[in-house]
A and B are shown apart, each in its own frame.
Chain A
Amino acid sequence: MWLSLSDTSSSLPSDTDVLVIGGGVIGCALAYYLAREGVTVTLLERSELNREASGTNAGSFHLQIAIHQLTGLEVDSLAHRLLPEIRLYVQGSRLWQNLERELNGSLEMHVTGGLMVAETDKELSLLHSKQRIEHDAGLETHVLEGEELRAFAPFLTPNLKGATYCPTEGHANPLLAAPLYALRAAQAGAAIRTGAEVRTIDLEQQDGFVVRTSRGSVKARRIVNAAGAWTNDIAAMLGLRHPVRREGLHVNVTEPRERILTPLVQHIGRRLTLKQSANDTFIIGGGWPARAVGDDGRYRTVWASAAGNVTIAARIVPALANVRLLRTWSGPLAFTDDLEPLVGPSRQLPGYFTCMATTGFTLGPLMAQLLAETLAHPTGKSAVPDNFAPDRAAAAMAAARS
């Protein structure tokens, strides 16, 4: 069962305490956690729920330190930054593991474990360095080499130098999470409205905002910008700008085949993430680009990304060679310049909040939950780390000037 179009297309409430802009997994989770706390919340989505990054990512929970955090940088110098981040990811994955029970529905959640492979000696030494940091942060990972790796993961090419295994990694179906959050949010009293595109946001005299949309206006005491890849489009309506950028991400899916692969597979030095989904298809991604069509966040998949991506996949898991590639898709990938989430209250503009997790499927629900706590209990200490603040870049600049 899903939230019906007759509900999501009914008229907008005239006012609300919290207005969430954006119907991705974070927006829907925010609506759920807020409604559950008894906060009056309205969610506005310009098209349909879960149609962008939240529904187009590959649905993996990667907890191991990923390549984009390491490329070109010495691991040891990053340890102080990576430690709290890994702890956050572990917390995020715990939330996911309880989510089907919490939301009382299937998300096709599977804790399968995950491997990160190395093809060169240099990559292998990176695996060892990152494993030490993970160990210090309390994330269980093991480096496997030689016969041990071959016995553990016979589906991998014998040419690997090694791999780290993390038993708590896994995946869920990204097509189901946001819609289920939205359904439970509405059942708890949230107003979820689709086809409502925000056009302007004005500050009220006393406090709060007037938000004009394609379907009428809403007065809101507080606003959460959860527009993901379009975060800056919303911020611009308030004269703000956040350090957020977007790219198009390419994903491949194959026909279903007999199960050969249970854990996730990713690569420390190449763009590859790979898993066999609950439907037995292979989903192959890892950060290959899709081409922008226009400048409003639409992307076309391109052949070079498909071919490049599956080439690496078949090199690491040779059995893929005789599996047929069925489809590709693309979606936006939103990230901040420092690759940290953008979550919390704005210091420049009271009543305005952002909630965006950089490459956020794993962290998204946790970010929403932490921000919802802050919104529901505004007088208490914020549950969100200070360094996620939306105007941190401006604050850092001001600090540098003084």
Chain B
Amino acid sequence: MSAPHSTTDVLVVGGGPAGMAAAAQAAAAGLSVTLVDERATLGGQIYKRMGPGFEVADTRAIGRDYAVGERLISQMGQPNIDVRLLTSVLDLDGTSAIVCEREQSTTVIQAQRIIVAPGAYDRPVAFPGWTLPGVLTAGGAQTLIKTQRVLPGKRIAFAGSGPVALAFPAQLHHYGANITLVCDAGPPPRPADMAAMLIAAPGNLALLRDAVGYRAQLLRAQIPVRYRRIVVAAQGVGRIELVVHAAVDDNWRVIPGSERSERCDALCLGYGFLPSVELLRLAGCAFEDDEDRGGAVVLVDDWMRTSVDSLYAAGDGTGVEGSLVAIDEGSLAGLGAARDLGAIGSHEAERQSEPMRRRLRRRRLFRRALRRMHRVGPGIYELADETTVICRCEEITRAALEPALGASADPAAIKALTRAGMGLCQGRNCQRTIAGLVAQRHHCALGQVRSPTARLPARPVPISAVTDESIEDYGFFTAPATPRN
């Protein structure tokens, strides 16, 4: 087809930590780089810039990330990096990407190598009342605060798990929010966990300092963290007024009779993140399942190469491990692409990659030390009752899903029977929950449940931006249509 066409040595998809680090490495090797991101500014979610004039009580709470982000963003100004914002990738097919700019026009970018750094999004958790106004994800609340200077409520409850459960309430507190309840579904830290963290700490001192700091901040603010408790319902007329939480066992399954409720006007949910894998699926990459890193995670080798030729992946989109890991993974991918294209010698690439690999090893050690506390239990996907909406786009309740769950263990078949996952978000908000319900119903591991086929476009796109009169309508599948006599 003859749609507008551009070429580049390396196409980087995603302008967060991993994408920017990849672009910087590839550009440093002298390659031409095109970096696309669907947002209006670089930085991804972690380095999202604050709205003007917003009061931060303690800049240290955000300072380090902020500085790292600004440094990476400034590197994107190099002449051999072409940054295209408000640009989303609709399809990845071989080394071609179809991209849409400002929802207005569609072009083809032909690259020698493509690095996908798509990031992650909040793990959606469906429970009775999760669709009430006032219930929002930690990421959503963060965006509100960082860009709009708006606090989600006056009495804010937080429920979640993992590093977010510690960091987010502390950060929110520093923005002046009144946090009245923090529930962490995981267990409280034991001395053994602390010891494991300390052993894994060399090279991760900043991470450990953060963890200790966040805890200290919560303690100072007299915000109690309730461990092994999960939010089981949000109640209210027209918006959330009451949050119900309950004790859970090791698998995050609710212990009956342990329910308590508290008044609040906002509930932030931070049960970790899921990688945005649509493009990697479209491209045909191989995946494995690791619930702790967000479920479906793409398989990569030691240069971040996926199973698909010329395609690399880096950052939280390859399994959620945070921005520091993302930067090193991105750098490795950029270096790997430069090496594979011959822009840098393999010996030199190896040498440059050493510190990145060393840091990645340490951080993974640290993460494993925290594993017991941060493991996601299957009970998280079993909280919905009959009337709970599972698929928000198509308004499909759990009751409406039941007959299809009985008929099939294949989410694609369930989708076909119910329309769950056919709406605007294309299953981003319901597929993991449905997979969890399938696993529960048919007694299999979550990782064994198949994912529906990925299809283009990866993002909804106005037809006016797609139309291309130059594409030839080259006729039907005309069989040798000799009429019978």
Contact = CB atoms under 8 A, between A and B. Distances in A.
Contact of A328 (B456, B464, B479): B456
Please classify how large the interface on chain A is, using the bins under 10, 10 to 19, 20 to 34, 35 or more: 35 or more
B462 A324 contact: yes
A79 B102 CA distance: 51
Interface in B445-485: 453, 455-457, 460-464, 466-469, 471-473, 475-484
A199 B106 CA distance: 46
A340 B482 CA distance: 11
Nearest to A69: B481
B53 to A, nearest CB: 35
B484 A77 contact: no
Contact of B471 (A73, A81, A279, A308): A308
A303 B90 contact: yes
A71 B481 contact: yes
Nearest to B406: A4
B473 A308 contact: yes
A329 B412 CA distance: 12
A320 B463 contact: yes
Given A279-B419, A339-B481, A307 B407 contact: no
Contacts of B106: 307
A335 B461 CA distance: 33
Contact of A323 (B98, B424, B456, B463): B463
A136 interface: no
A313 B3 CA distance: 18
Interface string A261-278: 000000000110000000
A304 B471 contact: yes
Contact of A325 (B404, B412, B417, B457): B457
Given A5-B409, A81-B484, A308 B468 contact: yes
A328 B471 CA distance: 17
B440 interface: no
Contact of A387 (B413, B417, B466, B484): B484
A51 B424 contact: no
Given A2-B406, A55-B416, A81-B484, A247 B466 contact: no
Contacts of A322: 462-464
A325 B455 contact: no
A125 B483 CA distance: 21
B476 A306 contact: no
B476 A307 contact: no
A2 B478 contact: no
Given A67-B476, A312-B473, A335-B479, A307 B468 contact: yes
Interface in B79-113: 90-91, 93, 98, 106
Contacts of B482: 338
Contacts of B469: 311, 315
Contacts of B468: 307-308, 311
Nearest to A305: B471
A308 B470 CA distance: 8
Contacts of B409: 5
Given A71-B476, A71-B478, A5 B408 contact: yes
B426 interface: yes
Interface in A1-58: 1-6, 8, 47-51, 55
Interface string B417-432: 1010010101000000
Contacts of B442: 5
Contact of A71 (B419, B475, B480): B475
A48 B460 contact: no
A271 B466 CA distance: 17
B479 A245 contact: yes
Which among B404, B407, B426 has the highest number of chain A CB atoms within 10 Å? Answer: B407
Given A72-B478, A307-B3, A326-B426, A5 B463 contact: no
A123 to B, nearest CB: 13
Contact of A307 (B284, B426, B466): B466
B188 interface: no
A323 B476 contact: no
Given A5-B407, A48-B413, A313-B463, A306 B456 contact: yes
B285 to A, nearest CB: 13
Interface in A273-303: 279, 287, 289, 293, 300-303
A240 interface: no
B481 A325 contact: no
A102 interface: no
Given A323-B462, A328-B456, A4 B481 contact: no
A314 B462 CA distance: 11
A320 B475 CA distance: 23
Contacts of B463: 254, 310, 313-314, 320-325
A47 B456 CA distance: 24
Interface in B397-412: 403-404, 406-410, 412
Contacts of A339: 479, 481
Nearest to B108: A303
A73 B483 contact: yes
A106 to B, nearest CB: 12
B483 A78 contact: yes
B407 A302 contact: no
A287 B471 contact: no
Contacts of A320: 463
B173 to A, nearest CB: 39
A360 to B, nearest CB: 15
Nearest to B479: A337
Contacts of A49: 413
A321 B464 contact: yes
Contacts of B475: 71, 271
A321 B407 contact: no
Nearest to B97: A303
Contacts of B408: 5, 48
Given A51-B412, A81-B484, A179-B407, 17 more contacts: A2-B403, A5-B406, A49-B413, A50-B413, A50-B416, A71-B478, A73-B481, A77-B483, A255-B424, A271-B473, A271-B476, A302-B456, A303-B98, A321-B467, A325-B460, A326-B424, A329-B453
8 contacts: A51-B412, A300-B93, A303-B93, A303-B456, A313-B463, A321-B467, A335-B479, A338-B481
In the complex, the 4 A-B pairs of residues with the closest C-beta atoms, listed nearest first: A308-B471, A2-B407, A321-B464, A324-B460
Interface of B: 1, 3, 90-91, 93, 98, 106, 284, 403-404, 406-410, 412-413, 416-417, 419, 422, 424, 426, 442, 453, 455-457, 460-464, 466-469, 471-473, 475-484
